Structure formats: C-alpha cells, structure tokens
Amino acid sequence: MKNNCIFCAIAEGEIPSFKIYEDEMCLAYLDINPFSKGHTLVIPKAHSEGLLDTPCETLAELVKRVKKVASHIKATLNADGFNILQNNGEAAGQTVKHIHFHIVPRYGMNEISFESSKGDMYELKALAERLRIA
C-alpha cells in the first residue's frame, strides 16, 4: 500500500469502496461508519495530509467537487441540509491522514451523533448505487 495510506489505496482501487463519483483528480465514496444516511467522503487522488499541505489549486478544484456531490446527495436523498467537516490533526479528530471532506446529510431537525458507528454493508452498497453520478 503506497504511503501506508488507506485512502490512496482506495483511490488506486486496491481497497474497495462504495464509490459515488470519480474524475481525473478526485473520488467520492460513502463513509463506512456513517454519521447519517449518505455520509460521503471527497478526496483528491493525489496524497496530502490536510488543509495546510494541500496546494490551493487542488483545494479549489476539490471544493467544486464537494459542492457538486453535496448538491446531488441532497437532491437524491431529499435531505434538508448537510454539514461539511474537514479535520486536521489527531487533536481535531483526524484519523486518516489523507485530506478529505465529509459531507454529512441532515434530515429534519434530528440531532445526530458525530461518533462513528459501523455501517450496514448491504445498505451502503444499495445507497451507493442510488447515489452514483454518471
């Protein structure tokens, strides 16, 4: 595994993921421990650790994809809103050291836990098929 990085391995297809969008520079896939239905991660294919070591050009392109994917998830799942999270450093709760934006859909005024809990693989597979952007 390159860099010993699980998200690089996902980007290279060495580790499977419930992919919903891919282009030349980025990948979006469902989080396996979702905070809410449709919780998605958007990553650049090129490895960097966090906001501070990622080139501004990459960030700009990535945020365009975050917007596109969030808009698609919101419409498809009829979400009422969404949180964008981007953790930097262990102290901030970053567990995977490959920059990623979380898109966390929100439904009604329901409170959610921002603690991970294991997702159901069958549900995630079906959801990824429903959310896939051609």
Residue 98 contact partner, candidates ligand 5GP, Zn ion, none, CB within 5 to 8 A by sort of partner: Zn ion
With beta carbons less than 8 A apart as the criterion, state whether 27 and 10 touch.
yes
Can you give the binding site for Zn ion, defined by CB under 5 A? Answer: 5, 7-8, 47, 98
Query: Pairing state of beta strands 40-44 and 101-106?
Result: antiparallel
Taking the complex as a whole, the smallest distance from the CB of residue 42 to Zn ion amounts, in Å, to: 14
Q: For this structure, is 72 an active site residue?
A: no
With beta carbons less than 8 A apart as the criterion, state whether 83 and 12 touch.
no
**Which of residues 47 and 68 has its CB atom nearest to Zn ion in the complex?**
47
**Which of residues 12 and 109 has its CB atom nearest to ligand 5GP in the complex?**
12
Residues marked as catalytic: 100
